[in-house]
Amino acid sequence: MLAIDGSLRRLAGYVNLELQTPRDQRFHRVYKGSHHARRDRVALHLYDLSASDDKNAEAKAKREFETLHRLQLHSWAPRILDSYQDAPGYAGEMFFFTVVDPAAPCIEDRTTDTTWTTRSRIAFTRNAIQALEELHHAGIDSEPIIHRNLSPRTILVKHDNSPIITGFERSRLPFESSIASSSLPEGEYVATVAPEVQAQGLAVADQRSDLYSICACLSRLFQDRDDDLSRRAVEVFKRGLAMEPDQRGTLQDLDMALAELLGESVPRVAPPPARFWTEDQVIRFRDRDYRIISRLGSGGVGTTFKVVEIDRATREELGTYVAKVVHNGETGQRILKAYSLVRSHLRHMALSTIFEVAKEWQENEFVALMTWISGAPLAEFTGVFPLLAEEQQETTSEYLALHWLSIVCEALDVLHRNGLIHGDVSPRNLIVSGSDLVLTDYDFVSKIGELLAAPGTVLYCSPSYQERRPASPSDDIYALATTFFHVIFEKEPFGHGGELDKKRGLNWEGVNREEYPILAPFIDKATHPDPQLRFTKVAEAITALKMQVPRETSTPIEEGKPEQPKIAAILKQTEQQGSQPALSEQRVEWLHSLLQSYPGSRWGNRETRGLDTEFAAQTYVETALEETLVRDIRERRVRLVILCGNAGDGKTALLQHLAARLGLGEHRSSERILEGTFPNGLLVRMNLDGSASWRGRSADEILDEFLGPFQNGPPNQDIVHLLAINDGRLLEWIEGVEVRQGGNETALSAALYEMLQQETTTQKSHIRFISLNHRSLVGGITPGRRPIDTTFLKRLIDHLYGCERAAEIWSPCQSCSAKDRCEVFRAARLFGPDTLPSLVEPSIRSRARQRLFEALQAVHLRGETHITMRELRSAMVYILFGIHFCDDYHAETETGVLPYWDRGFLADSPARQGEVLGELARFDPALEAHPKIDRHLLGTPTADSAKTTPHYPQLTLESARRRAFFEWTPEDIEQVAGDHDALDLTRGRHLRRFRNLPLADEPELTDACKNLCKGISRLEDLPPQALDRPSVVPLRVTPRTPTETALWVEKPLSAFRLEADLPPDAEGVERLHRQAFLVYRYRNGRDEERLRLGAELFHLLLELADGYQLGDVSTDDTFAHLSIFVQRLVREDERELLAWNPMQYEAIYQISTTINETESVPKQRMVITLLASGAQT
C-alpha cells in the first residue's frame, strides 16, 4: 500500500523499498530495494498518473522509460530489469519499471582506494568523458539528453575502470518528457552544479552545464595527490570549469587532452579490492570462474555476493551460488575454520550447503561458496507473520511457527550431534524459500564445549559470550526462539524501558499470550534467564514441540487385514442385493495412500525416499532404462553404472527396483550399500546415495572404496557397481580423489570428468553414465521416429489407480452415496484404466488422456522446469485425485472441492504446490477466447443435444473452457468452430509443431523454417514489396534518425535451416527436446549463426508469419537473443541495402558502394539502382 507521503515497503515482489526522491514529488518516485526471492538490488521507478493534471501524463512517463531503454546499448547505462508495466493493484493508474543497482562504488568512495593509480584514474576520467558525450548524442532527432545531476555520488566506477552513470531523476529528456525534480542538489554537491544552473535553475541546463559538473566531479580524483601527472590532470579539468558556458570548450577537447596525458597506451587496470567489486566482474576461485551478479550485503565480518559459475571456454552459466569474502585477516582465519568445520555435516534440507572452502584466507578472495537459496530472509516478514501463515495455508501464525521451529530444530540437531553449534541463528540467516525455512551463514560456527571466539547477532544470541561460558546447544535454541519472538510480535525481544536486558527475560508486554498457548511456554523455556532451566539439547525442544502440536486423526489399517474385500465377494454381495444396490457411505483406503504422496495435502509428504513405502513400490513404473540395465548387467556388458540427476529424479527408487529384479531382494534406502552374488559368480554392489555419509564414514571414504576397483580402468574382478549420485557431488569427489592422488588424475577421474561434461557415454565403455536430467518422462522420440511415445505416462496413470487391482480397489465407489458429487469418481470414469466400471466413451477417455499428456509436454517444451519423477507423480495425484478424502465428501461441508479440469490449470487452486503445477497454469485454456466456442459452452442445449457438442451452462466460462479442452473431441471442436485446432492450450497453437520437429521430414522442416524467417521479417515494419520478394528473407535496418524511407537487407532463404536440439542418445532413456536452433550459414560457407528457439519464441514468430500483430515486445526478454541474431546478419551486408519510399510506392531501389580504381586516387561511390517492382536483384 502506497502512503500519501510516498512510503512504500513492498511492490511487485520487491521488498524493503526506501524512498530516494523528495516526499512532495508524487508523480515520479524512485525507491531502492531488493527482490524478495532473487534478492537482486534495484532502483524502482514508480509513476502515479493521478498526481498529474497533464492529459499526456502516461505518455510522458512511458517516454522516459523508452529513452532509458535506448541507452541499454551503452555499457555505462543502468541496466533495466523490469520493463514499464502496470503496478499490481493499480492498473491504468500507476506504472513502474526497475533498474539494476550495480552496487559499484561511486567516485567519492573509490577516491580513498590507495591502490587506484594516477594513470588508472586518468583512464577512468577519459572513459567517463566519452560516456557523457555518448549520452548527449543518444537523444531523438538531434535533441540531446541532458543529465543535470552529475555528482561524485552519481558517477560509479566498475571493476574494469569503466563508468556507470546514474541519477537520471533530474535529467531532461528529448521533447521535455522528463517529469523530474526541479530541486538542485544540496550540501557539498552544490559545488558541482554549473553557476548558471545555481542562479537560474535546472531549466537553463544544457550540455555545457553537464561539462562543468563532470569536470568538477572528476577533478576531485586528483586534488589530494601531489604527483606531476595528477597536477596536469587538474589543469585539464579547469578548462571545463569556466564561469561562462561559452568559454568551457567541448568534451572532445577534454578527451584529446586526457589522451595526451596517457600517451599512446591505456594502462592495464588491476582488479580493485573486494569492497569495490561490482556486477559482471569475474573472480577466479579454486580454478573456476564466477561472475558477480549482485552484492547481497556487507557487514562487520565481510561481504556476500550472488555469483554464477561460468564455463571458461563457452561462457555458459553453470550454477548460482553465494560467495563470502572477509576483509580482515584475523576474522578471515576464524571464519575459514568455521566453514571448514561445518562443511561435511550439512545433511539436512533446512541447512544450506557449502560447495567450496578456500585452502587459506587471502585478501580479496572468496572464503567459501554456498548454495543459492531462492527466497527472502525471515526478517522481511517481521510484523506480517500472520499474512505469511495465511500464504503458507496454515490456520494460525502459531501453527506455522511450530512447524518451522520443529524443522530448524532438527537441522540444528544435525550440527549438535557432530559437536558444533551454529552460533548466529537470526532472522537474516533464515531464508523463507517457498514453504521451506533454510538456515544459512556459518560465520560463527564453534565447537561445543569451547569458549565462543565471537558473539553472533547481539540482539538474538544467548549471554554465553558475555558470561564467558562454553558454547552449548542451548545457545542455538535460545537464538532461534528469540528470532521467532521478534518476527511474530514485531517487538525487540529484551527491550525493557529502552535498554537491552537479557537477565529480565523477554518483554511480553502488549502480547496476548493466550493466543499462543503452545508457542509462548516454549519460547519462555528456551530463553529463560537461568541457563539451567533452558532446553539443554535439541531433542528436548523437539519433543516438547511434537508433544504439543495437534495432529490429524485417521483410522489406521489393521495389520494383516486386506484393504478391501475381494472382487468375488463384492460381486456375490451385489448379486444378493439386486441390480441396484442401496447407496451408503464408502471409503477407499488406496485414496488415502495417494493423498499421502502429495506434499500439499494434509496427509502429505509420507513418500520421501525411493521405494521405502509399500505404496511407492506398488505404484513404481518401470521404463526401458531398467530393462536395458538388467540385460547389460547380466550379460556383463557394463561394469560401472552411474546415475546422475536432481533430487526427486528417482535414482534411489530405480536402484531399489533393480536390486529386486536382479535377485538381491527388497531393501530400504537407509541400508545405503547393497550387494549380492549371481549363481554365475558375478558380484553386484549398489550405493543408493553417493552424496551422503553412512555409519560414521564420510561420503568420500565410501566413494573411494566403492569406485576403487575402477580407478585404473576396467576392474580385475568379476563385479558390477551401480552408483546414484548428484553430478555436483560427483565432480567434488573427482577433484578430491585427484588431490589425494598427489594432484594426478586417474583413468576413472578423467573418464568421469569427460562424461560429466558431455553427460553421456558410448556403449563401448565399461562405464555407463546416465544423466536423468536429460530423461523425458512425458514422452520421447522412438527409434522409428513416429510418433511421440507416451507409454510411461499411460502406465503411470494405470499404476496410480492400482493397475490390475484397480477394479477391486475402487469397487466401493459404485455403491457410495457421495459418488455424484465426488470429483475423484468423476476423474476416474475419464482417466481410469479399462478395468474400471462406469467409464465414459472410449473416444472421450482417449482424448482426455491425450490432452493431459500434451499439457505436461508443454511444461517440458517450455524449458523452464525439469520434470522429475517426484514432481510428475505429485502433479498427477493432485489433478486426478485432488486433496480430499472420502470423509470430506460424506461430510458435505467441504466447499473448496474443484473438478479435475480446474485443478489442472487454475493458478490459485487450493493447496497447489510444485513447479509442474505452477507451469501448467501458464497454459490455462481459459486465458484465451473464441466467440463461437464461448457462446456454445454457456448456451442451453437443444432438444437433440445428445448428438451435438456438449454445453456446460452451469459452469463459469473459464471452467467450461478447461473442461472442453479435456473432453471435446476434434470432431466436437470442428462442429462448433470450424477448425479442430481452435481450442487448445494458451499460446499452444504451434506447440504440437514444435514438439514434432525431430519427427519432421525435410519438406516439413523447410516449411517451418520459411515461416519462422517470415515471422522475423514481420517483426519490423517493412513495405509489402519487400515481404513479397520470393526466396529471400528481408531484415530491416533501423537508421539512427527516423525516416519515411524503409531500408533493409536480404538473405537467401536457402541459407537458413531448422534443427531440433535433442539431448544425447542413451539406450533406455527417452529423449524430448526443449529447444531448437534456426541456423544461418554465412556466404563464406564456413561460419554459422545460431538462434536458440524456445517454444515461446517459436510460437510468436509463427504467429507473426500468420499475420498476427504483437504489442510492443521490443523490450521483452524473449526477443533479446533474436535482436542480436538479426543485427549480426545485417552486418554481413553493410555495403548493399534495399530501399523503398512511399512517394514512389511501386519502386524498390538498391543502394550499394563501389570503388573506382581507374582514377589517380581510388574513390568510393554510392550507386542507387532502380529495381523492377518485385524483381530479384
Q: DSSP string covering 1053-1103, please?
A: GGGEEEEE-PPPP-TT-----S-EEEEEE-TTSS-EEEEEE-HHHHHHHHH
Nearest one of 606, 393, 398, 618 to 521, comparing CA atoms: 398
On whether both 743 and 787 belong to a single domain, the answer is no
User: Is residue 443 included in any domain, yes or no?
Assistant: yes
Question: Has residue 572 been placed in a domain?
Answer: no
The vertex-985 CA angle with 1072 and 895, nearest 5°, equals 115
One-letter amino acid at 725 equals I
- 1078 contacts 1009 by C-beta, under 8 angstroms: yes
**pLDDT tens by residue, 200-214:** 888 888 889 999 999
Judge whether 772 lies within some domain. Answer: no
Low-confidence ranges of the chain (pLDDT < 50): 1, 175-182, 548-581, 760-761, 763, 945-947, 1112-1115, 1174-1177
- pLDDT for the residue numbered 1113: 45
In this structure, the answer to whether residues 349 and 400 fall within a common structural domain is no
Strand-pair category, 14-19 with 28-35 = antiparallel
d(CA 1020, CA 998): 30
Would 576 be classed as within a structural domain?
no
According to the model, what pLDDT value does residue 794 have?
Answer: 94
Cα–Cα dist 165/163, whole Å: 6
Backbone angles phi, psi at 869, to 5 degrees: -60, -40
pLDDT reported for residue 1175: 42
Q: What is the pLDDT of residue 800?
A: 95
Q: What is the CATH number of the domain that holds 128?
A: 1.10.510.10
Q: Would 640 be classed as within a structural domain?
A: yes
Q: Is 279 helix (H, G, I), strand (E, B) or coil?
A: coil
Which of 548, 580, 610 finishes a domain? Answer: 548
At 327, which CATH number? 3.30.200.20
793 and 754 part of one domain: no
Same domain, 814 and 960: yes
Choose the final residue of a domain: 100, 119, 148. 100
Residues 966 and 997 in one domain: no
Q: Which position has the grid cell 492498473?
A: 91
Q: Are residues 1046 and 959 in the same domain?
A: no
Same domain, 122 and 206: yes
Residue 563 lies in a domain: no
Boundaries of domain holding 314: 281-371
Contact 157, 276 (CB under 8 A): yes
CA pseudo-torsion sign 659, 661, 665, 670: positive
Which pLDDT belongs to residue 582?
54
Task: Give CA–CA dist 458/473, Å, rounded.
Answer: 17
CA distance 996 to 282: 40
* 347 and 463 assigned to the same domain: no
- pLDDT at residue number 101: 80
Q: Is residue 385 part of a domain?
A: yes
Decide: 422 and 457 in contact? Cβ < 8 Å: no
Is 583 domain-assigned? no
The number of folded domains in the chain is 7
790 and 877 co-located in one domain: yes
Q: For residue 821, give the DSSP letter.
A: T
Residues 117 and 211 in one domain: yes
CB atoms closer than 10 angstroms to residue 107: 22
DSSP label of 260: H
Of 363, 353, 358, the C-alpha closest to 320 is 353
Q: Are residues 439 and 470 in the same domain?
A: yes
Written as nine digits, the cell of 105 is 562504488
Chain centroid to Cα 22, Å, comes to 35
Point out the domain boundary residue: 695, 726, 758: 758
Residue with cell 556476500: 304
- Is-contact 320 293, C-beta < 8 A? yes
SS3 content of the chain, % helix, strand, coil (to 5): 40, 15, 45
549, 398 contact by CB (below 8 A)? no
For residues 896 and 791, state if they share a domain.
Answer: yes
